[in-house]
């Protein structure tokens, strides 16, 4: 072999080797780039699926509870709460120790810029109670939460969305509720699905916008806070046609020297005629209380508050109130029948009554809160029934809106309530004006009575109707509002 051929062969060998090295380097670089992309995609999937709260943390850092999307004027609950040994404090559902709240704008509403979902979380398992609608067309979240409360004595979280009621949505609506609960449980690291309760409000027949809500869940978890601002934002986010947010908290001394707190928030403005509990509400407490005692006092509190209000006579498919007590205040567990239980129930009822009254005060198109107080009945149940009949009367409500002191409509409503009483014992007052006594009409200043109604309407105040039906021990109250032109307009155009 010639030296030249050797040289050529050597050069060719070197050239081939160089080309192989280049190709190898290119393949290695290509594999490296592909591997990097694959790792990035895998990390992103893991980031989204395995730890959504951590994945959302960067995006969530900009949430500011002072932003206008979390603002709505406050209903006057401080003026509406019954008097008692408690003190009204700030903080809403976050006032009691052991609770945090969050709110977010997920894009669930058909229009508007307001936040539309909220999350309330207990730091540790909290004793739970729930009251739910008795409408047979109950929404999926009602069916789910009712079963969850019945299946466990405690809960950790309540997820609430506004925009879609998820009622009359069949099996797919229930799956949406279950997916929501699973997502919240996953984000919070909870093993038991029954630890998560769900409330929904909005248009009946509409399923929840699940992609939007599921994206919001980790953002809610990442922004949980025990601040008053977070509680107020949550109270805003759950509202629909409400013109004011509804929240209140009280500090109450117990007979044994302890001081505990009760906080709550609610929503509701239309489709208000409950037969169970409330429109939507969450109440928190930090007293250590035995579960059966807590559930019994919650049921009684709801009976004397939300079940005594009406705006339009329509019972919602979604009515729900959830009450959680963390026990973070410490001390002995409060048992049924004890002095501490009596004191706690009084404060709990006051919070529920304040929220219930604020819902009637904020009734769609309302200009006044209508309060009817009944005494002299044979039982408290009879008194409550008569009072509710009066505030539910469309004729009476229309007269109040027209500033017409037409007391005959009040008498008629008491009479058809279904409660038997002697009409010769009937007494009716409108504010300071006595209109009827011992079954007999009285002369009264109609202009002054009309001016009373006008004054209350101008200040969006409370029109008080007092009814006595005898000399029994039964007393009861109910709350409603006047029936205005705007109510028809609001509900005629609700989905359009």
Q: How many residues does the chain have?
A: 496
Query: 61: which DSSP letter?
Result: T
DSSP letters spanning 222-279:
HT-B-SHHHHHHHHHHT-SS-SSBEEEEEEEE-TTS-EEEEEEEEE-SSS---SSS-S
Phi, psi of 483, deg, nearest 5? -110, 110
- Each residue of 396-425: pLDDT tens digit? 999 999 999 999 999 999 999 999 999 999
Predicted pLDDT at 9: 35
Q: 487 or 378: whose pLDDT is higher?
A: 378
Phi, psi of 300, deg, nearest 5? -65, -40
pLDDT-wise least confident of 15-24, 301-310, 360-369? 15-24
- Nearest one of 305, 285, 300, 275 to 142, comparing CA atoms: 275
> Could you tell me the pLDDT band of residue 496, with boundaries at 50, 70 and 90?
low
pLDDT above 60 for 60: no
pLDDT above 70 for 224: yes
**What rounded mean pLDDT belongs to the chain?**
87
What is the average pLDDT across 55-74? 77
CA distance 219 to 56: 6
DSSP letters spanning 402-468:
TT---HHHHHHHHHTTS----GGG-EEEETTEEEEETTEE----HHHHHHHHHHHHHTT-EEEEEEE
> Could you tell me the pLDDT band of residue 495, with boundaries at 50, 70 and 90?
low
Which range, 60-69, 147-156, 306-315, is most confident? 147-156
- How many C-beta atoms lie closer than 10 Å to residue 48's C-beta? 13
DSSP letters spanning 353-399:
HHHHHHHHHT-TT-SSEEEEEEEEBSSHHHHHHHHHHHHH-HHHHHH
CA distance 22 to 48: 38
CA distance 52 to 376: 59
How would you classify the pairing of strands 320-325 and 117-132?
antiparallel
Q: Is 93 helix (H, G, I), strand (E, B) or coil?
A: helix
Query: Where in 116-240 does DSSP place strands (E)?
Result: 117-132, 154-164, 196-203
> Could you tell me the pLDDT band of residue 23, with boundaries at 50, 70 and 90?
very low
Q: Which two tokens stand for residue 150?
A: 């019945």
- Nearest one of 376, 383, 401 to 458, comparing CA atoms: 401
CA distance 12 to 212: 63
Using a pLDDT cut of 90, give the percent of the chain over it. Answer: 76
- Each residue of 167-196: pLDDT tens digit? 999 999 999 999 999 999 999 999 999 999
* Active site amino acids: 278
Predicted pLDDT at 315: 60
- Residues of the chain within CATH 3.10.20.340 domain(s) are 369-493
Predicted pLDDT at 127: 98
Alpha helices in 1-93 (DSSP H): 3-49, 52-60, 77-80
What is the average pLDDT across 453-471? 98
pLDDT above 50 for 276: no
> Could you tell me the pLDDT band of residue 22, with boundaries at 50, 70 and 90?
very low
- How many C-beta atoms lie closer than 10 Å to residue 14's C-beta? 10
What is the average pLDDT across 135-149? 94
- Nearest one of 238, 352, 271, 249 to 306, comparing CA atoms: 352
pLDDT above 60 for 485: yes
- Each residue of 369-378: pLDDT tens digit? 999 999 999 9
Q: 174 or 318: whose pLDDT is higher?
A: 174
Which residues touch 10 (CB under 8 Å, ≥6 apart)? none
> Could you tell me the pLDDT band of residue 84, with boundaries at 50, 70 and 90?
very high
Angle between helices 140-151 and 170-188 (to 10 degrees): 50
CA distance 304 to 416: 21
Q: Which two tokens stand for residue 445?
A: 């200043």
**Residue 474: alpha-carbon gap to chain centroid:** 31
Which residues touch 316 (CB under 8 Å, ≥6 apart)? 133, 135, 271, 272, 274, 279
Query: 337: which DSSP letter?
Result: T
pLDDT-wise least confident of 52-56, 83-87, 464-468, 483-487? 52-56
- Each residue of 107-132: pLDDT tens digit? 999 988 999 999 999 999 999 999 99
CATH number of 369-493: 3.10.20.340
Predicted pLDDT at 487: 84
- Residues of the chain within CATH 3.60.70.12 domain(s) are 68-362
Report yes or no: 241 and 493 within 8 Å, Cβ to Cβ. no
pLDDT above 60 for 427: yes
Would you say the C-alpha torsion 44, 50, 54, 59 has a positive or negative sign? positive
pTM of the model: 0.83
Predicted pLDDT at 271: 46
- Each residue of 344-395: pLDDT tens digit? 999 999 999 999 999 999 988 899 999 999 999 999 999 999 999 999 999 9
Predicted pLDDT at 25: 47
Predicted pLDDT at 269: 66
Predicted pLDDT at 134: 80
- Nearest one of 30, 94, 442 to 261, comparing CA atoms: 94
Q: Tell whether residue 240 is among the known ligand binding residues.
A: yes
Q: Tell whether residue 496 is among the known ligand binding residues.
A: yes
Q: Is 342 helix (H, G, I), strand (E, B) or coil?
A: helix
pLDDT-wise least confident of 200-214, 314-328, 373-387? 314-328
- How many C-beta atoms lie closer than 10 Å to residue 314's C-beta? 14
- Nearest one of 493, 350, 368, 356 to 431, comparing CA atoms: 368
Report yes or no: 385 and 371 within 8 Å, Cβ to Cβ. no
pLDDT-wise least confident of 34-38, 137-141, 455-459? 34-38
Predicted pLDDT at 491: 78
Predicted pLDDT at 292: 98
CATH number of 68-362: 3.60.70.12
> Could you tell me the pLDDT band of residue 268, with boundaries at 50, 70 and 90?
confident
Report yes or no: 272 and 359 within 8 Å, Cβ to Cβ. yes
- Nearest one of 122, 100, 103 to 162, comparing CA atoms: 103
pLDDT above 50 for 35: no
- Nearest one of 391, 83, 79 to 246, comparing CA atoms: 79
């Amino acid at each position: 072999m010639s030296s030249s051929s050797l040289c050529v062969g050597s050069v060719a060998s070197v050239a081939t080797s160089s080309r192989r090295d280049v190709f190898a380097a290119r393949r290695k670089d290509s594999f490296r780039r592909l591997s990097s992309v694959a790792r990035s995609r895998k990390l992103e999937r893991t980031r989204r699926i395995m730890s959504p709260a951590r994945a959302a943390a960067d995006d969530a850092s900009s949430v500011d509870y002072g932003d206008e999307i979390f603002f709505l004027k406050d209903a006057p609950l401080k003026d509406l709460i019954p008097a008692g040994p408690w003190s009204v404090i700030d903080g809403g559902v976050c006032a009691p120790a052991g609770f945090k709240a969050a709110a977010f704008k997920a894009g669930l509403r058909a229009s508007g810029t307001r936040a539309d979902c909220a999350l309330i979380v207990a730091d540790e398992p909290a004793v739970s109670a729930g009251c739910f609608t008795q409408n047979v067309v109950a929404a999926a979240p009602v069916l789910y939460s009712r079963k969850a409360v019945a299946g466990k004595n405690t809960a950790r979280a309540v997820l609430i969305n506004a925009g879609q009621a998820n009622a009359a949505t069949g099996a797919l609506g229930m799956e949406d509720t279950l997916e929501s609960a699973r997502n919240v449980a996953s984000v919070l690291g909870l093993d038991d699905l029954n630890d998560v309760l769900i409330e929904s409000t909005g248009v009946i027949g509409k399923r929840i916008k699940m992609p939007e809500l599921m994206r919001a869940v980790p953002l809610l978890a990442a922004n949980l806070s025990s601040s008053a601002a977070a509680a107020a934002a949550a109270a805003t986010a759950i509202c629909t046609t409400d013109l004011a947010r509804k929240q209140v908290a009280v500090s109450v001394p117990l007979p044994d020297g302890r001081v505990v707190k009760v906080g709550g928030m609610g929503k509701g403005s239309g489709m208000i005629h409950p037969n169970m509990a409330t429109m939507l509400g969450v109440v928190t407490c930090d007293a250590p209380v035995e579960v059966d005692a807590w559930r019994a006092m919650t049921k009684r509190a709801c009976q004397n508050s939300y079940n005594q209000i009406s705006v339009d006579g329509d019972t919602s498919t979604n009515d729900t109130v959830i009450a959680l007590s963390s026990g973070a205040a410490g001390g002995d567990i409060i048992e049924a029948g004890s002095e501490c239980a009596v004191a706690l129930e009084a404060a709990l009822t006051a919070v529920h009554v304040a929220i219930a009254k604020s819902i009637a005060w904020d009734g769609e198109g309302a200009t006044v809160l209508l309060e009817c107080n009944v005494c002299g009945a044979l039982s408290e149940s009879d008194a409550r029934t008569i009072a509710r009949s009066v505030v539910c009367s469309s004729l009476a409500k229309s007269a109040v809106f027209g500033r017409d002191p037409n007391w005959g409509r009040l008498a008629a409503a008491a009479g058809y309530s279904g409660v038997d009483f002697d009409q010769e014992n009937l007494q009716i007052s409108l504010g300071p004006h006595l209109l009827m006594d011992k079954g007999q009409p009285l002369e009264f200043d109609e202009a002054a009575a009309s001016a009373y109604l006008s004054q209350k309407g101008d200040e969006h105040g409370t029109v008080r109707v007092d009814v006595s039906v005898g000399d029994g021990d039964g007393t009861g109250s109910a709350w409603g509002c006047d029936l205005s032109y705007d109510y028809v307009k609001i509900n005629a155009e609700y989905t359009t």
